[in-house]
């Protein structure tokens, strides 16, 4: 199947570097004819290395992750800010909901694994991984894998789970329909819904790869994580499932809030968000 063919991402180590002001832009061959791009700031040897991951269908240019990466790079951290390809060679733009989506959760996680390995080899350190929104789901899936990369900790900002926007009943209907479609034509492209997308065109096989990461599965992955996990949420974020957050906190997941912040954390609350991330990382440095 298509998913299986692409699981060889992490073993392809071909890469190139393009230099820009203050940072370099490495590319990583993740499949034949498919290159992923990133920004990389080389920091001080005594500082931790950090990977910053964007949310669903976004890129490394998305304001929240860009500001976090640039803030820590300015403080001397080695920072890697990749864009997942989502099956598009050297993807640089956000992916429209209405486009044809051939990517899967397994492919996304394999790419992320490859980038973390890339940074570990170059920095000589286990990196801290910071993710925004649905990027946190991919971190959870990565940590729950059979051979997760060695990281220091995970910091998940504005964490959500797949099926949240559709609600329990809507997600169940989507899952049932996709399972039915899967038995008929597993790779046929059909219109579904996923995350914030009311019109999301993909195969049932690919859709199910994401829908499997619902509240229960993601919660179990984070609770059983081999490394510390901290969730940072905005006090005014309508996407925050506070009951779920409270349940995670009883299972060893750290919780922090930025009181006035919403899901995308505008410039007014940027420093508060960066400070929360900084506090978590510095706690590891000093403790």
198 within a domain of the structure (yes/no): no
pLDDT of 101: 98
**Tokens describing residue 44:** 């001080």
Q: Residue 274 corresponds to which tokens in the numbers above?
A: 């960066």
pLDDT tens digits for 237-262? 667 778 898 899 999 999 998 865 55
Q: Is residue 203 part of a domain?
A: no
Q: In which domain, by residue range, is 110 found?
A: 2-161+213-286
Each residue's pLDDT tens digit, 116-173: 999 999 999 999 999 999 999 999 999 999 889 999 999 999 898 999 889 899 999 9
What band does 228 get if pLDDT is binned at 50, 70 and 90?
Answer: very high
Tell me how far CA of residue 50 lies from CA of 79, 170, 285, in angstroms.
5, 36, 13
54 inside domain:
yes
The band of 7, judged by pLDDT with boundaries at 50, 70 and 90, is very low
Please say if the pLDDT value at position 31 is more than 80: yes
> In this structure, is residue 206 part of a structural domain?
no
Residue 137 lies in a domain: yes
Average pLDDT value for the chain: 88
Residue 42 within a domain = yes
Q: What is the pLDDT of residue 10?
A: 41
- Whether 195 contacts 95, CB under 8 Å: no
Q: Using one digit for the tens of pLDDT, what is the confidence trace for 79-120?
A: 999 999 999 999 999 999 999 999 999 999 999 999 999 999
DSSP 202-215: E-HHHHHHHHTS-H
Counted domains in the chain = 1
**Looking at residue 130, which CATH number applies to its domain?**
3.40.50.1820
CA distance 203 to 181: 9
- Taking the whole predicted model, whether its pTM rises above 0.95 is answered as no
Whether residue 84 lies inside any domain: the answer is yes
Least confident interval from 17-21, 122-126, 267-271: 17-21
Residue 174 lies in a domain: no
Is residue 236 over pLDDT 70?
A: no
So what's the pLDDT on residue 260? Answer: 55
According to DSSP, residue 229 is labeled E
């Amino acid at each position: 199947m298509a998913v299986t063919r692409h699981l060889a991402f992490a073993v392809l180590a071909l890469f190139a570097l393009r230099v820009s002001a203050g940072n370099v832009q490495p590319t990583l061959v993740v499949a034949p004819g498919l290159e992923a791009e990133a920004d990389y700031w080389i920091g001080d040897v005594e500082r931790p290395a950090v990977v910053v991951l964007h949310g669903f269908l976004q890129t490394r240019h998305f304001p929240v992750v860009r500001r976090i990466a640039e803030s820590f790079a300015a403080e001397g951290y080695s920072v890697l800010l990749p864009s997942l390809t989502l099956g598009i060679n050297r993807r640089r733009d956000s992916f429209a909901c209405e486009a044809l989506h051939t990517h899967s959760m397994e492919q996304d996680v394999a790419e992320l694994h490859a980038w973390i390995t890339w940074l570990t080899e170059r920095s000589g350190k286990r990196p801290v991984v910071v993710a925004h929104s649905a990027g946190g789901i991919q971190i959870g899936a990565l940590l729950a894998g059979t051979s997760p990369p060695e990281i220091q900790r995970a910091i998940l900002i504005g964490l959500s789970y797949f099926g949240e926007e559709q609600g329990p009943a809507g997600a169940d209907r989507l899952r049932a329909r996709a399972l039915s479609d899967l038995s008929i034509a597993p790779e046929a492209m059909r219109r579904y819904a996923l995350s914030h997308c009311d019109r999301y065109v993909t195969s049932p096989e690919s859709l199910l790869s994401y829908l499997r990461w619902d509240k229960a599965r993601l919660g179990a992955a984070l609770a059983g994580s081999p490394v510390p996990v901290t969730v940072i949420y905005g006090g005014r974020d309508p996407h925050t499932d506070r009951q779920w957050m409270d349940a995670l906190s009883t299972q060893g997941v750290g919780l922090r809030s930025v009181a006035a912040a919403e899901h995308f954390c505008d410039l007014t609350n940027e420093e508060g968000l960066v400070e929360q991330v900084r506090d978590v990382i510095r706690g590891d440095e000093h403790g």
